[in-house]
Structure 1
Amino acid sequence: MFARRIVVVGTGYVGLTTGACLASLGHRVVCSDVNAEKVAQLSRGEVRIHEPGLAELVQEGIAAGRLEFVLGSAGAVADAEVVFLCVPTPMGSGGGADLAVVESVAREVREVLPAGCVLVTKSTVPVGTSARLRELVGRPDVAVVSNPEFLREGSAVHDFLNPDRIVVGSDSQDAAERVAALYARLGAPTVLTDAASAEMVKYAANCFLATKLSYVNAIAELCERLGADITDVTEGMGYDRRIGQAFLQPGPGWGGSCLPKDTAALLQVAEAVEFDFPLLQATISANARQRERMVAKVVDACGGSLDGVRLGLLGLTFKAGTDDLRDSPALEVARLLAARGAELVAFDPGLRGDEPGLPLTLVDDPYQAAKGAAALVLLTEWQEFRTLDWARVAQELEAPVVVDTRNHLDPDALRRAGLSWRGVGRTPVG
């Protein structure tokens, strides 16, 4: 494999992981960002993103001379062979993806891209974006390629270096093959297709996962009404190879930086071509209902009212292993609880305590969260919550009730500590 000169524009979760991992594969990578302080920190090997293994890869890349960080993108791309766009595409008005940053970067670099350079969209973008960028750049000597990412926060480095597949799409076969070759050392199955199909793969995959989660949450509610156990039901389902074990865990709803905006974006894309997509709409509606259902569980556990009731919360990030609060179902449940009049005290091992706008008080350990609370509510599945001293938790709580919205805890361990456990899709214990 030939080492390539690569520029990565944007140093968020996707951009920084992409740059550091490509450098670890032997390429020479320059990562650009518009935040001068962030560039300075990264140049010193300081990584503020909570992502296992990422800081080490950044430091190794800098030490080896294969990874550097610069301010601004126009100067960085002057001798690039491949330029990756890894910039935000947040949910815009109407639910569609906001491409303002993508298009702004394209305008900024279009005159300075070297002839023969390949411009790659790594950010999640709607179908047709590659065609739009080709028109915007207006350079027949610069190919545009779609190369969607499939990285999970908390395991992004592992996912990049151990991919299920590499998807590359372009109307230029040569450009697509050049981008695919960047990953040759990984030995992953590679899908070479047109740009529109590559863009569609990311949305189709994420919306399928969201649908799977909404489905299992509905089955969990049905289990509660029928006296079945969702844990046994999903185990029986998961052994079917057509279904698989992944994304069969019920919870307070799905969230994060991808699924909410991708489901909304695909729904808007469907509407734009006059395609009725009731299945996806139902998936989104069921997710909103699931959060309300978790609130109802807490209300019931506290005797029917939360007005002035103190609640302890375990976890606020959208999933364990991250510090990301974007579209967190845990945080949304917390907001709904606060709207019902509850006084919230929370602990999350991924948060620093300086996050703005939280409807609660953050404390330094889970026992402080439990102190004087009418119930303890687990919202994020951090592994350390499983090994708490539950006898001590029982002493701290005002009432011996734990609502486990992730089915993450051992009900028998809580029962032995004198606590009542209430989960999702399962019979209460204690």
Structure 2
Amino acid sequence: MPLGQRPGDKSDARYCGVEVLDFPAGEDLPAVLNHSLASAFDFILVPLVDPNYRPAPGSVLPVSASDLILGPAQWSNHVVGKISEWIDLDSEDERLRLDSELTLKQEIAWASHVSLQACVLPAPRRSFCGNYARVVNQILQGLTNMHLWLRLPLEKSEPMDDDLDKIKNNSHTSEIVDSWELWNSFRLLCDHSSQLCVALDILSTLPSINSLARWFGEPVRAAILQTEAFLTNAKGYPCLSKRHQSLLTGFFKHSVQVIISGRSNHNVFPVSEGVLSGDESYAEDSRVRHALTPYLEYIAYLYRKMDPLPEQERIEINYRDFLQSPLQPLMDNLEAQTYETFEKDVVKYTQYRRAVAKALVDRVADDAVSTTRTVLMVVGAGRGPLVRASLQAAEETGRKLKVYAVEKILTLLLLFIV
């Protein structure tokens, strides 16, 4: 169930998921999914394979459930796969590196088979992750629709003054952890694949404002909000600090989905903890609220209290962060719908009007207004927005203006005749 109805917002930010911390084997997966959906979560982030599995001759991949236990729409719309966290493709142990590569490829193949839209990759275990990136890049070459989200902690350790002095004196090396730098190195090695995205772990502490701002220009698809990041308000319910609230609001504006992760630290009502872990002992009852429902309700509150999208943003939201194919207006006759889209760019035509007004004032002095007429040609006039902007500029400045509209499409010229 979406977090709320915000006029004009049709992005993925409306949806909130929950991370299943333990491995739900066999029949537990449908129960965990159904309980999460009944509790108003939209999807689950769930391990695909038993975390105790290690490749061995003749062994079979111990997947969480048969591909038939859920319908195709459930796999595709409500499940995000979580790759085994023990994987370490840059380990010094050769056996572990080989096992990790084999397991990663097997799990991605299984996720692709059940038509998952995305899988979350574990965070690199060290700053140099060349082999990890090599294998992921190889996998990306064979994917069609599925995306891979690299999980990274949202952190940047800032050196203290003493550390800065030591670094300057070269007497001590202090490694600065910067998850953005790690992401930048990883995606460069993966050739900037459009199917490689980011899932950020939001912890109780946040880096500086400048460090956070860099992430708004990256393909962040999910913000995994840890329950430890929540504070407790006067009534005992979970809430977030002002900085965390501001960060989430920014992510909402960039179509980032929230995934709640962790154990409940706010027992404000009886819950079934077994649902999160896949414990078979819990009683399946739709009246039992999910352990993380209070956190979901708070996230929904933050989403709903955001200001409605301005009309201009509603128009632009579907074109954000996408490279548009260049049009060929000299070769092709553009459709009316294309012109309609262009003309909704209010800023563009406002700036044109102001530029023409300044040019007219600069060209024609006040004492020559009644005797001087400026000639303006709009080449490629389309449906006439630049012509109208120019005439408005002439009216505002009190200058005389004669406009020639040049257009190759005859049907558009009828607009000027009418």
State the TM bucket, normalised to the shorter chain. under 0.3
Q: TM-score, normalised by structure 1?
A: 0.24
Larger Rg belongs to: 2
Q: Larger relative contact order (C-alpha < 8 A, sep ≥ 6)?
A: 2
